[in-house]
Amino acid sequence: MTRRFHVSTFGCQMNEHDSERIAGLLAADGMEATDDVETADVVVFNTCCVRENADDRLYGHLGRLKALKAERPELQIAVGGCLAQKDREVVRARAGHVDVVFGTHNLGEVAALLRRARMEGPVVEIIEEYETYPSALPVRRAVDHASWVTIQIGCDNTCTYCIVPKVRGREISRRMGDVLREVEQLAADGVSEVTLLGQNVNSYGRDLGSGQRSPGFADLLRAVGAVDGIRRVRFTSPHPKDLSAATIEAMAESATVCEHLHLPLQSGSDRVLARMHRGYTAERYLARLGAARAANADLAVTTDIIVGFPGETEADFEGTLAVVEEAGYDAAYTFVYSPREGTDAAAMSDEFVPAETVRDRMGRLIELVERHALRRYEARVGGVEEVLVEGPSKKSPTVLTGRTRQNKVVNFPPRGGGATVRAEEIGPGSYVDVRITGAAPHWLRGEFVATVAGARRVRTRIPLTVE
């Protein structure tokens, strides 16, 4: 009988795309995907180690599978990804029923490792760096109309709170021609939206070429945006210190590059930013953000912020609030600092901020972020947005959900404003115009106006006034 596999993902978009590649490799090996862990023959956990709760979640899942493994000894359990790369010996020590442990650099061997474990018993295989760039792996995408495209692996930054460089390795850019061939193939397969992935996409290309100027991220943005059939291009994540005028210009001039910029702040205090090794000040960050908004009048901006970094004072936190107030983000991903063994910040244990203080600061930060977010979402009420349909809403099967070019979630019924359309005409991957009728800090509500023709749309700039 055909063996069935289930892949669970912890962490960022890089991990999500790695899971798609794991699924593609297992499918290519003759297995069949299943959403039911209880009946799976192979369960793979693709892990993250950025925050402690990801560790706890993994070992909680492994603990629950121990009984299932006792009932079905033929069940294979594999743990891969960043946590496996970092804690290669710990995983088997804490969960002896795990069959395979593999890291970030030998993801392409997962099917072979599972076969080997069936014959030889448990396998732990971690390598320290890629032998070749892993760009040609098969992929089993979660959706048909959108895809991740890796343009870069690893990270050369030295942020003191971050474990990623230790588990992902040095920064290596993928050849531009290789990226474009993948995007062209995706477009031929019906994909209309691609998201370019890298730990620091702004530094793409610095390690490519010799003598003549190597292609940079701005060049790649323009080239990917020009691929026939691609209607939306997104990217994540850029580093503020490397956000160049050329990239801002490419975003503004390429009609397919979406009006959304995720620009991680982390802290608004220059003192904390220096201790984090972020390479910019609050003033420089706001200047880059201002330049991006000036060139892209309809730009939505999101960010990451860490609360409670070791030694963060009330004055430091007030600096963060001041930047958030000036930036007026559309959304922010807020995190409580989590010490990671092996990082410089973890050695600052005598400066950890009390949990009660962190909770208070987090509450104040979220309130400010959501106040600005609501204003920006409300500013779109009354306008008509192009929405890429993702499918039925999780809360109601009679309501569709999708995203605008600014990456805002829109919920809407499949008919409204006097217009009607057959449900199959606006399935996942369809583009529709939706009139926005309501707003909340995290989503928009609207009514269907019309389907959008398949031709690429010309960008229109819509200046927004946010009071």
Per the model's pLDDT, the better-predicted residue between 385 and 417 turns out to be 385
Using 50, 70 and 90 to split pLDDT, how confident is the model at 396? confident
pLDDT in tens, 38-62: 999 999 999 887 776 777 888 899 9
- The pLDDT of residue 207 is above 70: yes
In angstroms, the CA 167 to CA 143 distance is 28
Per the model's pLDDT, the better-predicted residue between 167 and 67 turns out to be 67
CB 116 within 8 A of CB 53: no
pLDDT in tens, 299-312: 999 999 999 999 99
In angstroms, the CA 391 to CA 401 distance is 6
pLDDT of the residue at 457: 43
In angstroms, the CA 275 to CA 316 distance is 12
Using 50, 70 and 90 to split pLDDT, how confident is the model at 213? low
pLDDT of the residue at 456: 44
Q: Which runs of E-coded beta strand occur in 162-284?
A: 172-173, 193-197, 232-236, 260-262
CB 215 within 8 A of CB 178: no
- The pLDDT of residue 160 is above 50: yes
Mean pLDDT calculated for residue range 152-177: 89
Starting from the edge strand earliest in sequence, which strands make up the sheet with 260-262, in order? 260-262, 300-307, 331-336
- The pLDDT of residue 133 is above 70: no
How close are the terminal C-alpha atoms of the chain, in Å?
Answer: 63
Q: Give percent of the chain with pLDDT exceeding 90.
A: 68
DSSP state of 462: -
Per the model's pLDDT, the better-predicted residue between 457 and 40 turns out to be 40
Environment class of residue 138 by beta-carbon count within 10 Å: exposed (0-12), middle (13-18) or buried (19+)?
middle
DSSP state of 421: -
Starting from the edge strand earliest in sequence, which strands make up the sheet with 232-236, in order? 146-150, 193-197, 232-236
Per the model's pLDDT, the better-predicted residue between 143 and 221 turns out to be 221
Nearest Cα neighbor of 196 from 266, 157, 250, 156 is: 250
pLDDT of the residue at 462: 34
